[in-house]
Copies of this chain bind each other. A is one copy, B any other.
Amino acid sequence: MKKILNQRETIITDMLKGFVKAEKDHIAVSKENDRVLYRKEKQEGKVGIVIGGGSGHEPLFFGLLGKNLADAVAVGNVFAAPTPQTVLAAIHEANQGEGVICLFGNYAGDVLNFDLAKEMADTEGIAVVNLAVSDDIASAPKEYQVDRRGIAGDLFVIKEVAAAAAKGYSLERCQRIAQECNQRTYSIGVGIKSGTNPLNGKPSFILNDDEIEYGLGIHGEPGIEKMPIVSAKDLIKKMYLALDQEIKAYVEKEVIVCVNGLGSTTLMELYIITNELIDLLENKGFLVMDTVVGNFCTTQEMAGFSLTVQILTEELKELYQMEATSPHYFHKEGY
């Protein structure tokens, strides 16, 4: 493994220390639990937003702590859910008496630990709602949308639910928005070259030089099929057809799009991909309101990418358009 690290045992600690030093004016470590970071500036009287999950997917999750974004983050080990105690500490940092909503990817370990933390918070009288993001259409069929994994769709769900909280909406309303937001968010990914797990130095999968993994998960979970590498045009067409099955029935035609790099796929490639995807969406009568391109949900230095489409409602659009600022994502209307 060729990575610039110190001891493998301290990679999470070293990383978080570096992040907090870089963002010292805005972000601090929880005194209760050093795997919890929170935004220092508080907006009074709003629902708290906790996000979290395994490490190794940076900038998710801690890179989204910020204004009109997340209040606290629970950081797990590499590709491993944060402990219930860590999540509970994040809930404490985010709680301002109006309840807390926790947003995380739909993986067994995360679901279990966030549920345990919710139970613990309940006994303390803190109202907590959990929402497991499940946008990866390759991981389960349409009828089992709630069983799907969470991948880059996290970004839009966090953005919009955090905006709802920042607008002062109740926990109940935030929960409804989170569910709707998640239901309307669809992603599909492709792996081109494996990343390396920094703990054991091992690749998460093996592919031949001319092969790609279609529909893989962000921990290198097997996809739908291994296929030969094809042109951007042909690949995006295939991926779009899968997305179209999910989105074509909607009456609403306005969408937002994320082209997410998994680590080492170049921005050059991501914009070539974007060019193909937007053409396909527009040809099918969709109106692309906004497009976000970059590395948001990665798997170390994996090459590959995912496409995310969210079908907007008027309410979600308004939430999406709210200004937001964090170390690794921002949204501003007009610039």
Contact = CB atoms under 8 A, between A and B. Distances in A.
Interface in A301-335: 301, 303, 305, 325-328, 330, 332, 334-335
Interface residues of A, number: 73
B4 A272 contact: yes
Contacts of A16: 271
A33 interface: no
Nearest to A291: B22
Given A266-B298, A300-B266, A301-B264, A21 B231 contact: no
Interface stretch (A58-66, A123-131, A160-168): A58-66
A210 B56 CA distance: 23
Contact of A278 (B18, B56, B209, B266): B18
A271 to B, nearest CB: 4
Contacts of A6: 231-233, 272
Nearest to A3: B269
Given A25-B334, A334-B41, A209 B325 contact: no
A235 interface: yes
A287 B252 CA distance: 52
B198 A268 contact: yes
Contacts of A120: none
Count of chain copies: 2
Interface in A3-36: 3-6, 11, 14-19, 21-23, 25-26
Contact of A272 (B18, B26, B193, B267): B18
Interface in A101-141: none
A273 B14 CA distance: 9
Given A66-B335, A268-B198, A5 B209 contact: no
A272 B15 CA distance: 5
12 contacts: A3-B266, A4-B305, A6-B231, A6-B233, A6-B272, A18-B275, A22-B259, A22-B278, A41-B335, A67-B335, A266-B298, A295-B295
Q: Which 3 A-B pairs have the closest CB atoms?
A: A264-B264, A18-B275, A18-B271
Interface of A: 2-6, 11, 14-19, 21-23, 25-26, 41, 55-56, 58-59, 63, 66-67, 190, 192-193, 195, 198, 209-210, 229, 231-233, 235, 259, 263-276, 278-279, 288, 291-295, 298, 300-301, 303, 305, 325-328, 330, 332, 334-335
Given A6-B231, A22-B278, A56-B268, 20 more contacts: A2-B193, A2-B229, A4-B235, A4-B269, A5-B232, A5-B269, A6-B233, A6-B272, A17-B271, A18-B271, A21-B275, A21-B288, A22-B274, A26-B334, A58-B266, A58-B271, A67-B335, A263-B264, A266-B298, A295-B295
